[in-house]
Amino acid sequence: MYDAAGSVVFADEDCWVVDFGILAFQSTKPPEWVRVGTAVRGNLYLGIDPFFYTEDLRLKVSMPNLYYEWTLRGIELETTPWQLAADESGRPLQTRADVAPTFRKVQSTNAWVDDSQHAHYVLECERRVAS
């Protein structure tokens, strides 16, 4: 989670991009108030694209380039226990226990195996800057 401030640099009917030092997108219909140039500030979760940008969004006219090169310094797998809960309509679902999150260092990601395919990783990385 990050506190971030920046501005909207792209928006269309099903996604929007904010520049807060790096470009990041949300693949949902933007709120009504979103316009290119609008200043934004808030708390955000920054994740790695699981294919939305690579397979679809990058092909949109005027979509900014969101590719960055990173040096990976370390990987941690979340080990916070799971608990059974219910959604708004009473359907059962698994959520992380309401305790301080825990992690363990791992050498690589394996989302198809780790944590019964519910793996959540924290990547310690540094952005490579072109020389």
Among the listed residues 65, 69, 16, the one whose alpha carbon sits nearest the alpha carbon of residue 44: 16
Whether residues 38 and 87 fall in one domain: no
Supply the mean pLDDT for the chain: 93
- Mark whether 9 and 54 lie in a shared domain: yes
Q: Where are the beta strands (DSSP E) in the chain?
A: 2-11, 16-19, 23-26, 39-44, 70-78, 82-86, 92-96, 103-106, 121-127
Q: What is the pTM of this model?
A: 0.79
Q: Domain of residue 19: give its range.
A: 2-59
Residues 43 and 16 in one domain: yes
**Residue in this structure with the two tokens 């520049």, named with its chain if needed:** 19
Same domain for 30 and 49? yes
Domain limit, last residue, from 17, 38, 59: 59
54: pLDDT strictly greater than 90: no
Kindly state whether residue 65 falls inside one of the protein's structural domains: no
Distance CA 95, CA 93 (A): 7
Is residue 64 in a domain?
A: no
How many domains, in total, are found in the chain?
Answer: 2
Whether 48 and 82 share a structural domain: no
CA distance 81 to 98: 9
Clarify whether residues 33 and 81 are in a common domain: no
Q: Which of 78, 5, 96 is nearest to 43 (CA)?
A: 5
Residues 54 and 92 in one domain: no
pLDDT at site 47? 87
**Where does a domain end: 16, 33, 59?**
59
120 belongs to a structural domain: yes
Q: Characterize 26-47 residue by residue with b for buried, 16 or more Cβ atoms within 10 angstroms of its Cβ, and e for exposed.
A: beeebeeeeeeebebeeebeee
Q: What is the mean pLDDT of residues 80-89?
A: 93
Same domain? 98 vs 120: yes
Confidence of residue 74 (pLDDT cuts 50, 70, 90): very high
Q: Are residues 76 and 104 in the same domain?
A: yes
Instruction: Read off the pLDDT band of 50 (50, 70, 90).
Output: low
